[in-house]
Amino acid sequence: MRKRFFIFDMDGVLLIPGGYREATNATIRRIGAALGVSSPQLTEEQIAHFEALSITNEWDTIAICAALMLVNIWQTAPEVRLEGFLPCEKPDQFQMPDVDAFLASFLEVGDLPSVSAYEKILADHPDLTEEQKAHLQEILFTARDIIESPILSIHQEAVLGSETFQHYYGLEPKLGVESYLMTFDTPALSPSNEHSLRSRLSEVGYLAGIMTNRPSRSPDGYLSAPEAELGAKLVRMDDLPLMGSGMLAWFGETHCSLAGHLLLKPNPVHCLALLQMCAGTPVTQALELSCDLWQGKGDQGDWVQFDGSQAYIFEDAVKGLMAGIHARGLLADKQIDIDLRLIGISSSPIKRAALPEVADQVFTDINEIEWSAI
């Protein structure tokens, strides 16, 4: 019997990600208040523009915004630095920078957007002092490091809630807040559409999993928070296999001597490992098989069960769809043929303009899909 795999992105597909957006803007407001910036805030369109550029990790977004605020301030007050989050004694003395102009000309985003942003800022502002450059490096180069970043800990506390933040990171909380994810995220599936999907998945040969760049649980000794698991619980799909950035980063760094972000989508390992997990392969073995295939060492026999199968990927960003395309190519090299269907889902005009470049179909939201017809 032909197997059918449903691979779901989380934010923007299975859930409406209000939590990350609220936490992102809360952090930007705290940064702005500390620097004396008037009305520090990202609009929905600006957040969508970041994501359309494949800057989907808000850690990068926040660091980039902090850097842009500083560079803008330095035009008139070159001595200002971000040193903690106490509100500035002179509020609203500086304007929010032109984020739209920066994004419109940010053409070389790369795998680490905050590092690429540093290079662009230096190109745009060749008059920065060495000390100013070092301050930007402190913010941008540590954007994903919970220990070294001067920004990330305050943000993660808002995301997880103070209690969970302290439990997973062992750091002292400062905000005393509940998790923004559990407070502001909402499931995207309507009750009737969720019932229809569950009915389909109950049929023989239908398998599903969640492919997300959210941090996720990882083995002991590797620091990663259960943000993906919180989302899966919220949308009542915590019974499905899940591949998040925590496990991928752990495996990349401990088994492949790779930087933690390199196995995330659009890397095919993200998609391949989840396919293996959907088929019942244990997570570590699934990652081993997927990395072997990606590195040209895979065995056809490890993948023959997928030959002739059909895989649907439901994504709101191009890079998730590209992970599927790259995975299909690697499997084809081993004479394993899968029928890949790429489904874009977004109501954002910016994302809807980008998705048709690779998607077979684009929907406004997941409730437009008729599961009984797949």
Q: Which domains does the chain have, with CATH numbers?
A: 4-14+186-373 (3.40.50.1000), 19-180 (no CATH)
Which one, of 267, 233, 264, 239, lies nearest residue 250 by Cα?
Answer: 264
> What would the DSSP string read from start to end of 292-351?
HHHTT---GGGTGGGTT-EEEEEESSHHHHHHHHHHHHHHHHTT---EEEEEEE---HHH
Classify residue 93 as exposed, middle or buried by CB count within 10 Å of its CB (0-12, 13-18, 19+).
Answer: middle
Handedness of CA 182, 185, 191, 193 (dihedral sign): negative
The predicted structure's pLDDT at residue 51:
86
Which residue carries 């989508």 as its tokens? 265
Q: What is the pLDDT of residues 85-133, one digit of tens each?
A: 999 888 889 999 999 999 999 999 988 999 999 999 999 999 999 999 9
Q: Provide the pLDDT for residue 313.
A: 98
Please state whether 200 falls in left (phi above 0), alpha (psi between -120 and 50) or beta. Answer: alpha
What is Dmax (Cα atoms) for the chain? 69
The two tokens of residue 200 are 């389909």
pLDDT in the model for residue 316: 94
Cα distance between residue 221 and residue 237, in whole Å: 27
Give the pLDDT confidence score for residue 261 in this predicted structure.
83
**List of the chain residues with pLDDT < 70:** none
Residue 365 confidence (pLDDT): 93
